Structure 1
Amino acid sequence: MSTGSSPPIVVPLVLELIKEKITEIPDRYIRTTNLDHVHHPIDDSTAEYNIPVIDIEALLSGEPVLADSESEKLHSACQDWGFFQVVNHGINSLLIEKLKSEIHKLFALPLEEKKKIWQEPGDMEGFGQQFVISNDQKLDWSDMFYITALPTRMRKPQLFAGISPLLREALEAYSLGLKNLTMILLGKMAIALKMDSNEMDELFSDCLQRMKLNYYPPCPKAEQVMGISPHSDAGALSIILQLNETEGLQIRKDGNWVPVKPIPGALVVNVGDMIE
Structure 2
Amino acid sequence: MDPNVENGSMQGDEPLGWGKSLPVPSVQEMVRKDSQCVPERYIQEHKDRPVETEMCPTSSEIPVINFSLLVNGDEDERRKLDLACKEWGFFQITNHDVSEEVIKQMKAAVAAFFELPLEEKRNYAMAANDIHGYGQGYVVSEHQKLDWCDLMFLVTSPPKYQKMKYWPVTIPGFKEAVEQYSTEILKLTEDIFANISLLMGMDKDALKRLHGEMMKQGIRMNYYPTCSRPELVLGVGPHSDASSITFLLQDDDITGLQIRHEEGWVPVKPIPNAIVVNIGDVIESWSNGVYKSIEHRAVTSVTATRMSIATFVIPDDDVELGPVETMADDYNRPKMYKAIKYVDYLRHTLSKKMDGKANTELLKVEIESN
Deviations 1:7-64 (A, max 9, x none): 532111101001112423111101122325567622231xxx2210011111122xx6
Identical-residue share of aligned pairs (%):
37
Cα deviation for residue 144 of structure 1 reads 0.3
Correspondence for 1:212: 220
Correspondence for 1:104: 111
Correspondence for 1:261: 269
Q: Distance in 2 between matches of 1:214 and 1:150?
A: 19
Give structure 2 stretches of 5+ with no counterpart.
1-15, 285-370
- Higher RCO (C-alpha under 8 Å, 6+ residues apart): 1
Cα deviation for residue 220 of structure 1 reads 1.1
Q: Distance in 2 between matches of 1:163 and 1:33?
A: 42
Q: Distance in 2 between matches of 1:38 and 1:100?
A: 32
Length, aligned pairs only = 267
2:130 aligned with 1:160: no
The TM-score, its normalising length taken from structure 2, stands at 0.69
Contact 2:251/2:270, CA 8 A, preserved across alignment: no
Give structure 1 stretches of 5+ with no counterpart.
none
Cα deviation for residue 172 of structure 1 reads 0.4
Correspondence for 1:58: 69
With over 3 angstroms needed to count, the CA separation of the structure-2 counterparts of 1:144 and 1:36, relative to structure 1, is closer
Which residue of the other structure, out of 33, 37, 60, is the alignment partner of 2:46?
Answer: 33
Report the 3-state secondary structure (helix = DSSP H, G, I; strand = E; otherwise coil) of the residue aligned with 2:183: helix
With over 3 angstroms needed to count, the CA separation of the structure-2 counterparts of 1:75 and 1:54, relative to structure 1, is same
Report the 3-state secondary structure (helix = DSSP H, G, I; strand = E; otherwise coil) of the residue aligned with 2:155: strand
Amino acid at match of 1:250: Q
Please say which of residues 202-211 and 98-107 is displaced more in the overlay.
Answer: 202-211
* CA RMSD, Structure 1 to Structure 2 (Å): 1.7
Contact 1:117/1:162, CA 8 A, preserved across alignment: no
Correspondence for 1:42: 56
Q: Distance in 1 between matches of 2:18 and 2:203?
A: 35
Q: Show the 5 A alignment for 1:180-191.
A: 180-191=187-198
Give 1 or 2: higher helix fraction: 1
Contact 1:116/1:162, CA 8 A, preserved across alignment: no
Report the 3-state secondary structure (helix = DSSP H, G, I; strand = E; otherwise coil) of the residue aligned with 2:46: coil
Correspondence for 2:229: 221
With over 3 angstroms needed to count, the CA separation of the structure-2 counterparts of 1:37 and 1:138, relative to structure 1, is same
Which residue of the other structure, out of 248, 258, 276, is the alignment partner of 2:256?
Answer: 248
Q: Distance in 1 between matches of 2:85 and 2:149?
A: 28
Correspondence for 1:120: 127
Q: Distance in 1 between matches of 2:145 and 2:108?
A: 30
Report the 3-state secondary structure (helix = DSSP H, G, I; strand = E; otherwise coil) of the residue aligned with 2:185: helix
The TM-score, its normalising length taken from structure 1, stands at 0.91
Contact 2:249/2:275, CA 8 A, preserved across alignment: yes
Correspondence for 1:174: 181
Contact 1:30/1:224, CA 8 A, preserved across alignment: yes
Deviations 1:94-117 (A, max 9, x none): 111111112111101001110111
